[in-house]
Amino acid sequence: MQDRFLKSIAKLPETLATAIVPLLDQDFAGHIDAQQLAELQKQTGMELDELLLALLPIAAALARPPISEFYVGAIAKGKSGDIYMGANIELPGEALFHSVHAEQSAISHAWLSGESVIEDIIVNASPCGHCRQFINELVEGSKVNIHLPDQATAPLSHYLPYAFGPSDLNITAPLLSKQLHTLTLDSNDPMIIEALDHASLSYAPYTKNYAAVVLETKDGATYCGRYAENAAFNPSMQPMQMALSTMARHNRDFSEINRAVLIESSKGVVSLVGAAMDALHSVAVVELEHIVVEPE
Ligand SMILES: O=c1ccn([C@H]2C[C@H](O)[C@@H](CO)O2)c(=O)[nH]1
Ligand SMILES: [Zn+2]
């Protein structure tokens, strides 16, 4: 089991602790599939909602909050029945807006894993206004059920009444709906090809700046992030932040980054290069490779 879970295991009911330990091997990065979840329910005798709340200390253990020391854990449950954990990250020495909230981490985890609908979000602290707005960008966002310890479960529409969202800007295919932008580039560099694939799946209806980041560690492992815009602009999730939160879920140190690539579309009305460099350079000494591609 990974050391980062030692303290959270002690907070779990004993049957759950026993059942979950075998899943928390070196590769565990916060994904539990529907079958494993059913097995956990069988072994603990817990109802699903109860089990998901009980798992929050495990999600919170994925956090990297060097500024606040406040560990937030979230779980996004997809329509497939799989669950995706996420946790907050804060970048030391950088402006606070570079932070990633636990809910964003869990949602981006589900999105990167191919989920097309998120039905439930379980979180250990009340979701802030920025997260409520981020959730509202999702397909059927107003219907996402929010589960909190000691609160009755309620849909996002209860937490965010009179919402402003994608439909106010005439966007009909919101976040998690299939995006497939044609971006082409002649390269046989696997890392660049990976970044290009993710950029073509990115969500940038407001700027058309289809973009993605791939980070590589010295052992050749790669971690990616896609750009996920928001109708209210500021809560948009930057691809660098998404890639860093992917790394954090995988328990990798940011100082292990060996290579970093940002791909963006030449037709975007903004560029993320400055923001991406600021975030990257707060955690690693590595140049950002910036590649601009032509959409078809
Ligand atoms: O909804 C919320 C509210 C706060 N945080 C994080 C952000 C920051 O890292 C820390 C303190 O605000 O908690 C979340 O992850 N989700
Ligand atoms: Zn938040």
Q: How far is CA 30 from the centre of its chain?
A: 11
| pLDDT for position 295 | 84
pLDDT of residue 4 exceeding 90: yes
Ion ligand 2 neighbours, Cβ < 5 Å: 101, 128, 130-131
Which atom of ligand 1 has the smallest separation from the CA of 99? 9
pLDDT at 296: 78
Residue type, 34: A
Q: 89 a known binding residue?
A: yes
Q: How far apart are CA 238 and CA 235, in angstroms?
A: 9
The verdict on whether residue 101 carries a ligand-binding annotation is yes
Q: Please indicate, yes or no, whether the overall pTM of this predicted structure exceeds 0.95.
A: yes
**How high is the pLDDT of residue 179?**
86
- Give the residue, by CA position, lying nearest to ligand 1 atom 6: 101
Nearest-atom index, ligand 1, CA of 87: 15
Please check the confidence at residue 104 and state whether its pLDDT lies above 90: yes
Task: Return the closest-CA partner of residue 118 out of 78, 175, 80, 75.
Answer: 78
Q: Does the pLDDT at position 49 exceed 90?
A: yes
Of the CA atoms within 13 Å of residue 32, those in its CB half-sphere come to 25
Q: Quick one: what percent of the chain has pLDDT higher than 70?
A: 100
Q: What is the ipTM score, two decimals?
A: 0.99
Supply φ then ψ for residue 176, to 5 degrees. 95, -20
Residue 101 C-alpha to ligand 1 middle, in angstroms? 5
The pLDDT tens digits of the residues spanning 61-89 come to: 999 999 999 999 999 999 999 999 999 99
DSSP β-ladder status, 257-265 and 288-295: parallel
Number of the ligand 1 atom closest to the C-alpha atom of 65: 9
Give the residues surrounding ligand 1 with Cβ less than 6 Å away. 65, 68, 70, 72, 88, 90, 99, 101-103, 125, 127-128, 131
Ligand 1: distance of its center to the CA of 135 in Å?
Answer: 14
Q: Is the pLDDT of residue 207 over 90?
A: yes
Q: Which ligand is nearest to the CA of 99?
A: 1
Contacts of 147 (CB under 8 A, 6+ apart): 49, 52, 53, 120, 121, 122, 123, 153
128 labeled binding residue = yes
Residues 245-284: pLDDT tens digits?
Answer: 999 999 999 999 999 999 999 999 999 999 999 999 999 9
What is the 134 CA–ligand 2 centroid distance (Å)?
8
Residue 224 marked ligand-binding:
no
Q: What residues are annotated to the active site?
A: 103
Residue located nearest, by CA, to atom 16 of ligand 1? 101
31 CB contacts (<8 Å, ≥6 apart)?
A: 82, 83, 84, 85, 109, 113
Using pLDDT thresholds of 50, 70 and 90, give the confidence band for residue 24: very high
Determine the average pLDDT of the residues in 130-159. 98
Residue 177 has pLDDT above 90, yes or no: yes
Average pLDDT, the chain: 97
Which ligand 1 atom minimizes the distance to the CA of 105? Answer: 15
